[in-house]
Chain A
Amino acid sequence: MSAASSVATPMAGSLLVLHPCRWMHRFIEHTGEIQVELEAASEVGIFEAALEAFAELASADGDREPASHRIELATPDRALLLADWLNEFVYLAEVADFVPGTITAFELVGDQLRATVAGHRDHPRQLVKAVTLNDLELTEVDGRWHGRVVLDV
Chain B
Amino acid sequence: MGFVMNQEEFSKTIENLSKNYRLYAPVIKKGEGRCLDEDIVRYDFVTKAEEIELELKSDYSFKEILLPLSETLFFFTENETKVADKNTSDVLVFLRSCDLHGLRRLDDMYLRNGKEKDFFYSRIREHVQFVLIGCPHSYKDCFCVDMGANKIDEGYVFTIEPKGDGFASEIKDDDFTKYFVGQSEHVKVSYVTENETKVNVPNNVPLSIYKSDFWREYDARCIACGRCTIVCPTCTCFTMQDTFYDPNGKVGERRRVNASCMIDGYTNVAGGGEYRKPHGQRMRFKVLHKIKDYKARFGYNMCVGCGRCDMVCPEYISFSTLINKLDDQIKKEAE
Indicate whether A and B interact. Answer: no
